[in-house]
Amino acid sequence: MSSENINQKNPLAVEKTGRLIARFAIPAIISMLVSSLYNIVDQIFIGQGVGMLGNAATNIAFPISIICTATALFLGIGSASNYNLESGAGRPEKAVQIAGTGLFMLAVCGILIGVVVLAFLDPLLHVFGVTPEILPFARDYTGITAFGIPFLILTTGGNHIIRADRSPSYSMVCMLTGAIINTILDPLFIFTFHWGIKGAAAATIIGQIISGILVIYYFAKKCNMALEVSMLRPKAEHVKVIAGLGMASCINQIAMAAVQITMNNTLRYYGAQSMYGADIPLACVGVISKVNMVFMAICIGISQGCQPIWGFNYGAENYGRVRETYRKAFSICMTVGITFFLCFQIFPRQIVSIFGSGSEEYFHFAERYFNIFMFATFLNGIQPMSSGFFTSIGKAKLGIVVSLTRQIIFLLPLILIFPVFMGIDGVMYAGPIADAAAALVAVGFAVRQMKEMRKKECI
């Protein structure tokens, strides 16, 4: 059967784009929200059961979570994007071989990162900006959650391949099951067993292990692709193409980790010189970054849900469907962004209060951070969505450039320069400037890409 006939039978090529976005993006959004829920639920129960220092400890540990996500997206999105492009081009066997290589690399990298974190735990925490008061809490939390890293990476990365295999609902179930278990065990371990922050960490890794087992079961028993054990053996040529299309998402996460580490150290230094002290800014930013994860999870979920549609149709040269899907994804991200912008501006104290109590200085800093740093939230979904778009259509270098704009090119220099002249307020004003600049760059590149696709249609 020709690739054209295969494509005509594939729903990615013929079903209405709005319906496809809903079918793939809703499970992807739920999966991303569930992934964020691990951190948010921990933050809420730790804030209520341990206090401000517990919240600060999870903020210190957050770069490790970002690094794990970066690895998972590097291999998961790289594998899924290539799988869809090869499938759309009528090369299903090569597509499955790439997916097998990606799964093997996810397992190996998860184990390696877990070992490194356990071996260098204290030095890493000091690099991440820990203070003497926060160190015992951060050590307990990170030392336990490190054992769940292999399952976290396998689940996060494997779910991208599951969605590419046309099973978005199962992908959602994998993430949702682990999150529900974590939510049930958190209050039991923290309040009933009185394990404190160790209980939150234990609940997290149990949920991650269950999710990881479900991913393994899918590829062993339920997958649509013709995956064989021999295909799990990695091939250099497949690793190369996975890296090419996974690099943008990975770099975006690594950039987030670099910014988080720099920000923690900046907040610690300039916070100590302010009325807030060193610990309050670390605790507040830890809470707010988790809240912002909900918004980003939705936008990234939209991008991930659209990835099979973009990739398959670009590979099949159905450029009109690619453009139509991007326009709809853009509109959805803007609508979500405006909604969260209003919540962040109107209800900052109420949002922070969910994560526990604190002094008046604590709430004052949190409110100002929401109002200033998060002022351009309504634009924040454009950059990650566009980066995912370029990666999905095989434009790896452009995806990398777009993924670097907000975190590395704009935000990182600003949070180093502004506080020199403005103190800790400089960190806050760096946020909206970086957000607006990154959105403009992403839109500019997207418009250019749309014009290029129209030219190809005319040839």
| Residue-wise pLDDT tens digits, 62-75 | 889 889 988 998 99
- DSSP-derived 3-state class of residue 310: helix
pLDDT of residue 3: 46
Which residues, 6 or more positions from 245, have their beta carbon under 8 angstroms from its beta carbon? 77, 78, 81, 82, 391, 394, 396, 399
The mean pLDDT of the chain is 87
Residues 17-30 have pLDDT tens digits of: 888 888 888 887 88
pLDDT at site 49? 85
What pLDDT sits at residue 6? Answer: 47
The residue with tokens 């770069």 is: 63
Q: Position of tokens 């790439």?
A: 98
Read off the amino acid at residue 320.
Answer: G
Contact call for residues 311 and 88 (beta carbons, < 8 A): yes
Beta-carbon contacts of 417 under 8 Å, excluding residues fewer than 6 positions away, are 426
In the numeric block, which tokens belong to residue 362? 């604590």
168 pLDDT exceeds 50? yes
Q: Report the pLDDT value the prediction gives residue 459, as an integer from 0 to 100.
A: 64
Confidence of residue 370 (pLDDT cuts 50, 70, 90): very high
DSSP 189-231: IIIIS--THHHHHHHHHHHHHHHHHHHHHIIIII-SS---GGG
Tokens read off for 77: 């999105």
pLDDT band at 216 (very low <50, low <70, confident <90, very high): very high
What does the block give as tokens for 249? 């998402």
Task: Work out the pLDDT band at 38, boundaries 50, 70, 90.
Answer: low
Tell me how far apart the alpha carbons of residues 257 and 161 are, in angstroms, rounded to a whole number: 24
pLDDT of 8 strictly over 70: no
pLDDT at 95: 84
**Position 7 confidence tier, pLDDT thresholds 50, 70, 90:** low
Q: What confidence score (pLDDT) does residue 118 get?
A: 96
For the record, the structure tokens of 340 come out as 């969260």
| Alpha carbon distance 192, 278 (integer Å) | 32
For residue 15, the 8-state DSSP code is S
Find the mean pLDDT for residues 237-260: 82
Burial of 263 (0-12, 13-18, 19+ CB in 10 A): buried
Amino acid identity of residue 131, one-letter, is T
Contact 182, 34 (CB under 8 A): no
**What is the structure's pLDDT at 431?**
92
Question: Residue 341: pLDDT above 90?
Answer: yes
Query: Is the pTM for the entire model greater than 0.85?
Result: no
Question: CA 424, CA 273: separation in Å to the nearest integer?
Answer: 8
Angle of helix 17-49 relative to helix 319-346, nearest 10 degrees? 30
When pLDDT is cut at 50, 70 and 90, the band that residue 41 belongs to is: confident
Does residue 405 register a pLDDT over 60? yes
- Residue 140's contacts (CB-CB under 8 Å, 6 or more residues apart) are 57, 196, 197, 198, 201
Summarised one tens digit per residue, pLDDT across range 79-95 is 988 888 888 778 888 88
pLDDT at position 35 over 70: no
Mean pLDDT for the stretch of residues 311-320: 86
DSSP assignment letter at 274: S
**Is the predicted pLDDT of residue 2 greater than 70, yes or no?**
no
Of 99-108, 272-281, 361-370, the poorest mean pLDDT is in 272-281
Residues 54, 137 contacting (CB under 8 angstroms):
yes
DSSP symbols for 264-292: HHHHHHHHHTSTTTTHHHHHHHHHHHHHH
Where is average pLDDT lowest: 13-22, 108-117, 243-252, 363-372?
243-252
Mean pLDDT of 121-135: 90
Task: List the one residue out of 423, 383, 67, 101 whose CA is nearest residue 231.
Answer: 101
- The per-residue pLDDT for range 177-211, each reduced to its tens digit, is 988 898 899 999 999 999 999 999 999 999 999 99
| 152 close to 72: Cβ distance less than 8 angstroms | yes
DSSP 354-400: TT----HHHHHHHHHHHHHHTTTGGGTTHHHHHHHHHHHTT-HHHHH
Please give the full DSSP string across 52-64, using - where no structure is assigned: HHHHHHHHHHHHH
Tell whether the model's pLDDT for residue 393 goes beyond 70: yes
Residues sharing a CB contact under 8 Å with residue 266, sequence separation 6 or more, in sequence order: 415, 416, 419, 427
Given CA atoms 261, 305, 315, 155 in this order, what sign does their dihedral have? positive
pLDDT at 9: 62
- Cβ(249)–Cβ(388) below 8 Å: yes
CB under 8 A, 24+ apart: contacts of 412-417: 412/255, 412/258, 412/259, 412/262, 415/259, 415/262, 415/263, 415/266, 416/262, 416/266
**Exposed e or buried b per residue across 101-132, where buried means at least 16 C-beta atoms within 10 angstroms of its C-beta:** bbbbbbbebbeebbeebeeebeebbeebbbbe
Task: Find the mean pLDDT for residues 241-248.
Answer: 84
The predicted structure's pLDDT at residue 287: 82
Residue 230 has pLDDT above 80, yes or no: no
Nearest to 158 by CA among 258, 75, 267: 75
Question: Is pLDDT larger for residue 440 or for residue 3?
Answer: 440
Contacts of 405 (CB under 8 A, 6+ apart): 383, 437, 438, 441, 442
| The pLDDT value given to residue 111 | 96
- The string of pLDDT tens digits covering residues 43-54 is 788 888 888 788
